[in-house]
A and B are shown apart, each in its own frame.
Chain A
Amino acid sequence: MSPATILLLVVLAYPIFYTLRISFAELNLGTFEADTWVGWDNYLAVVENDRFWNSLKVTGTYLILALPLQMVLGFGIAFLINANWKGRGVVRALFIIPMVVAPVVAGGVWRMLLDPLWGLVNYLLGFFGLEPLDWLGNPSLAMMTLVIIDTWRWTPFVTLIATAALLSLPRDVFEAAQIDGANWWRIFWSITLPLLLPIIAATFIVRWLGAVKMFDIALAATNGGPGQATNVINLFIYEEAFRSLKFAESAAMAMIILVLTMVLTGIFLVGSRKLEERQ
């Protein structure tokens, strides 16, 4: 444990301290150091900014839609592609590709596929007599589009971990249960699920922490639009810092997000510990 702790402490301690410090100060762009102490001013500016609140709302919607979908699809598909046949290894290796495609390219390819003018998706829908949909231009549909792209991209992660989890299940337990004549639902509910629980919980936590930080796909696919319909919080912070050069306010936002993420992660951890202890 100590190598990990030391490494993280060395690399992360100063950056986090720096962010905390400039979140309470006015940043001098000439030196990139804190200039004057301004107390809670930056935080007040953030809290008064309805674009910030909107981003939180958008992020929440996206998380509530995307996370459960990815978890269920991921474990389901892992179960399917673990079936024993010759091509299994290849299918597994190919299934990770959506994760590997650079977000910029992935976002662009999806834009190409979904565009009402030259996109393949609406062209195919046309064969079924369906009206073309404005996947990227309609504010509520744009959120669905973002969830679809993100699910396409990150379900393979869940599948990758779930595959390993299913492979690690001890064989003898199942054999014993089968000999006892338990049906598949009982085996699933009282043996498979409890055994998988620590890994399901870990996968969820890792995916949750990754999803909170998602901004690359939103940047490439919708650029946060239309309006602010897909402007997730990390895209907003990125734009405020790197486009508008409002580094101090961005630091304040980052600290707020850090606290929010910590609280929610804490709740998830307590929840998963409760579940683990129940077995």
Chain B
Amino acid sequence: MAKVEITVNGVKHSRDVEDRVLLANFLREDLGLTGTHIGCDTSQCGCCTVHVDGLAVKSCTMLAVQANGANVVTIEGMAKNGALHPIQQAFTECHGLQCGFCTPGMIMAVAGLLKYNPNPTDEQICHGLEGNLCRCTGYINIVKAVKRSAELMSGKK
């Protein structure tokens, strides 16, 4: 057992956790933030993507104890004061989701992608989403949603 202090979506949490507990499970089970989904056990699907100190991270690839002292943002922290984040807005506008299970991880991964490349080409988007699987949409509308996100974030309506 170890004591961790992790700030999640602006709120500081102190918990005792088993050393082997993954950040993904910590968020879901200890903090009840079930918007972060777990879709595989080999770190391929990207459903559990969150931001740790500003970086998009698959939260199944790190232990909760490794996030001690970190600032974590999950899908629940993306909308601010009732207003959707532009990426969330773009995903619904472009019908970039169907069952919605991969969507939180997709949105967090896209936020990570756009942070470093605010205006990506189709090629760069596909490359950037290599680590996120979706079974419903065929990705066509997800790629559109990323382009629309870039537009909305640069102030276009």
A and B: real partners? no
